[in-house]
Chains A and B, each alone.
Chain A
Amino acid sequence: MQRIFRQSTAACVVACAFVGTAAHAQQVLVPAQSHIQFTSTQMGVPVQGKFQQFEANIQFNPSEVAKSTIAMKINTASATLGDAATDKNLKDEDWFNVRKFAQATFQSESVKSLGGQKYQVDGTLSMKGKNKKISVPVQLEQNGAHTTATGTFSVGRLDFGIGDGDWADTSMIANEVKVNFKLVLTGVEKLK
C-alpha cells in the first residue's frame, strides 16, 4: 500500500510537471468566438457558408515569428449553407465527399511578419485528397487574454475537386471561393 502510494506520488511529480510546462505554452482556440466562412458565387449570387467544427493547433511565437506553426483540422461534414437539405448534398461525392475525406487540413510551412501585426502564413491546404500551397494573410489583435487572428483568402474549388461532375461548370458556380476566418486564442504571449 505504501509502495503504491509512493509510486503514484513519483508519477504525479513527473506528470504534473510535464502538464504544467505544456499548459504554460498551450495556445487554445475558443471555438464559440471563432469562425471559418466561405463564400461561393452561384450564377452571380454570393452564397455564404461556414464550417461549424474545426480544431487548431497553434504555436505562435511573437519573439520568434519564424518558429511559429499553425495546424488546422476542419470537419468537412460540418459545412453548412444554412439549409438542412442543401447541407446533406454538400456531403456527397461531388462536393466534400465526407465519408472518404472527413477532414480538410492546413499545415503551415513558414510564418513571416509583415509589420503592424500583419503576418503571412504559407502552407499546404489539403482537401479531398488534394494538396495545394496557399498563402494566407493574417491580422492579429490582442485584447486582454484573447488574441484574435483574422484574414481572407481565395481558393480555386476545382483545385480540390469540390463541385465535381455536372457542377464543375464555372459559369454556374465560379471557381474562386473566398474564405474568411476569425480564430480567437487564449495563451498567446504578449505581441511585440
Chain B
Amino acid sequence: MNTRYHPFSILLHWIMAIGLIGLIAVGIYMEGLPFSPSKLKLYNWHKWVGVIALALVVLRLLWRFIRPAPALPAQMLSTMPRWQQWAHTFTHVGLYALMFAVPLLGMAYSSAAGYPVVLFGLWPLPSLVAADAQLAQTLKGAHALAAWAMLVLVVLHVAGALKHQLIDRDGLMQRMLPGR
C-alpha cells in the first residue's frame, strides 16, 4: 500500500497552502487601507484568488475520493494517544469545511455589500444574496471569524507536522513533500 500522497494531491496541497496564507495576509492588510485605487485593486484580487481557491477545494475534494489520503502508519496509530487522533481528524475536517465556508461567506458578503463578484473583471458570478447593508456587516464578521478560525487550524496543522518532523522524527511529513 502506498504510504505517500499522490503527486497531484501534493501539488494541490501546496498551491492551497500558499494561496490561503496569501489570502489571509492580504485580507488582514487590505481592510485597514485608506480609500484608494490600490485598496480597490487588492479587494478585487482577493476576491478572484478566493474564487479560484474555492474551485480548487472542490477539485481537491473530488480528487480525494478518487485517490484517498493514505492512512497513518499502523505503528504510529498504535502509540498515538486518542486525543491526538481526534485532533488529527478534527483539524483536517475543519480545514476542509472552512475552505468552503470562508470563500462562500466572502462572496455572500460582497453581494450583500452591493459589489457582485466579477471574476477577473470579466465574468460576473451569481449574487448569493441581495444587497443589504445590515446583512453585509453580519457576513463581513462571519467571513473574518471563519478566516481566523482557518488560520488557527492552519497553525495547528503546521505545528502537528513539525512535531512529527522535529520531535518524533518519524518522517511523516515526507508523505506530503514533493520528490520521491
Contact = CB atoms under 8 A, between A and B. Distances in A.
Partners in one complex: yes
A93 to B, nearest CB: 13
B44 A167 contact: no
Contacts of A43: 40-41, 44, 118, 121
Contact of A82 (B37, B41, B114, B117): B114
Interface stretch (A28-36, A44-52, A67-75): A44-52
B116 A45 contact: yes
Contact of B41 (A44, A48, A89, A172): A172
Nearest to A42: B40
A89 B40 CA distance: 13
A81 B44 CA distance: 17
A44 B122 contact: yes
A85 B121 CA distance: 24
B115 A47 contact: yes
A89 B115 CA distance: 17
A83 interface: yes
A166 B40 CA distance: 12
A45 to B, nearest CB: 5
A83 B113 contact: yes
Size class of the contact patch on chain A: 10 to 19
A98 to B, nearest CB: 15
A86 interface: yes
Interface in A75-126: 81-83, 85-86, 89
Contacts of B2: none
Given A45-B118, A47-B114, A48-B114, A172 B136 contact: no
B133 A167 contact: no
B118 A172 contact: no
B36 interface: yes
Interface in B39-53: 40-41, 44
Most buried by A among B37, B118, B124, B133: B37
A166 B36 CA distance: 8
B52 to A, nearest CB: 16
A81 B37 contact: no
Contacts of B136: 83
A44 B115 CA distance: 10
15 contacts: A42-B40, A43-B121, A44-B118, A44-B124, A81-B114, A82-B113, A82-B114, A82-B131, A83-B113, A83-B114, A89-B35, A166-B36, A166-B37, A169-B37, A172-B37
Interface of A: 42-48, 81-83, 85-86, 89, 166-167, 169, 172
- 9 closest cross-chain pairs (CB), A and B: A44-B121, A44-B118, A89-B35, A43-B121, A43-B44, A45-B118, A82-B114, A172-B37, A166-B37
Given A43-B40, A82-B131, 11 more contacts: A42-B115, A43-B44, A43-B121, A45-B44, A45-B121, A81-B114, A83-B133, A85-B35, A166-B36, A167-B37, A172-B37
